[in-house]
Structure 1
Amino acid sequence: MDLQLIEAYIPKKHFEKVSETLSEFPIVSNWVSRESEERKLVRVLVETKNTEEILNYLENASSVVDGFEVMLFPVRSYLTRFTDEEKEQIHREEQEDKTKIQRASRHELLGAIEKSSRITLNFTLLVILSAIVVTIGFIKNSEAVIIGAMVIAPMLGPINSMAFASILGDFKLLRQSTITLLYGIGIVLAIAISLSFVLPVPIENNEFASRTHVNLSDIILAIASGTAGALSIISRLSDALVGVMVAVALLPPTVVVGMTVGSGFWQEAFGSGLLLLGNISSVILAAIIVFSLSGIRPVKWKDVDRAKTSRKLSILFVSLTVIFLILAILFSSHIDLI
Structure 2
Amino acid sequence: MALRLVKILPPEGFNDLNELVNEDDIVDSWIDKSEGGKTVINLLADVELTEKILGELETKFSGKEDYRIVLLPISATLPSHSDDEEENKDKATEQEKDDERVNRISREELYEEIKKVVDFSWVYLVLIALSCVVAANGLIRDNAAMVIGAMVIAPILGPNVGLALATTLGDKALLKRSLKSILYGFSLGISLSFLMGLIINIDPDVSQINSRTVVSYADIALGLAAGVAGCLSFTRGISAAVIGVMVAVALLPPMVTTGLLLGSGMYDLAYGAGLLTLTYIICINLAGIITFLLQGIKPHSFVEQREGEELSRYAIFIWVSLLILLSVIIYFEFL
Does TM-score exceed 0.5, indicating one fold? yes
- Distance in 1 between the 2:102 and 2:31 partners? 33
Alpha-carbon spacing, 1:21–1:166, altered in 2? closer, same or farther (3 Å): same
Cα shift at 1:260: 1.6
Alpha-carbon spacing, 1:241–1:19, altered in 2? closer, same or farther (3 Å): same
Equivalent residue letter for 1:248: V
Cα shift at 1:213: 1.5
- Distance in 1 between the 2:288 and 2:161 partners? 6
Q: Which residue of 2 aligns with 1:189?
A: 190
Unaligned runs of 5+ in 1: none
Alpha-carbon spacing, 1:36–1:53, altered in 2? closer, same or farther (3 Å): farther
Q: Which residue of 1 aligns with 2:27?
A: 28
- Distance in 1 between the 2:291 and 2:173 partners? 21
- Distance in 2 between the 1:79 and 1:131 partners? 48
Deviates more, 1:235-244 or 1:202-211: 235-244
Runs of 4+ in 1 over 6 A off after TM superposition: 80-85
Cα shift at 1:61: 4.6
Cα shift at 1:33: 3.3
Unaligned runs of 5+ in 2: none
- Distance in 1 between the 2:60 and 2:296 partners? 22
- Distance in 2 between the 1:13 and 1:108 partners? 28
Q: Which residue of 1 aligns with 2:4?
A: 4
Q: Which residue of 1 aligns with 2:215?
A: 214
- Distance in 2 between the 1:203 and 1:82 partners? 57
Q: Are the counterparts in 1 of residues 5 and 71 from structure 2 also a CA contact under 8 Å?
A: yes
Q: Are the counterparts in 2 of residues 12 and 38 from structure 1 also a CA contact under 8 Å?
A: no
TM superposition score normalised by structure 1 = 0.90
Q: Which residue of 2 aligns with 1:306?
A: 307
Superposed CA RMSD in Å reads 2.6
Alpha-carbon spacing, 1:141–1:121, altered in 2? closer, same or farther (3 Å): same
Q: Which residue of 1 aligns with 2:167?
A: 166
How do 1:138-149 residues align onto structure 2 when only pairs under 5 Å count?
138-149=139-150
Equivalent residue letter for 1:33: D
Equivalent position SS for 1:11: coil
Q: Which residue of 1 aligns with 2:51?
A: 52
Equivalent residue letter for 1:31: W
- Distance in 1 between the 2:91 and 2:240 partners? 29
Number of equivalences: 331
Deviation track 1:198-240 (CA, whole Å, cap 9, x = no partner) reads 1111211111011112111111111111111111110110122
Q: Percent identity?
A: 34
Deviation track 1:100-154 (CA, whole Å, cap 9, x = no partner) reads 8731001111111111111122211111111001111111111111111111111
How do 1:44-193 residues align onto structure 2 when only pairs under 5 Å count?
44-62=43-61, 64-75=63-74, 76-79=76-79, 86-89=86-89, 102-193=103-194
TM superposition score normalised by structure 2 = 0.91
Q: Are the counterparts in 1 of residues 12 and 66 from structure 2 also a CA contact under 8 Å?
A: no
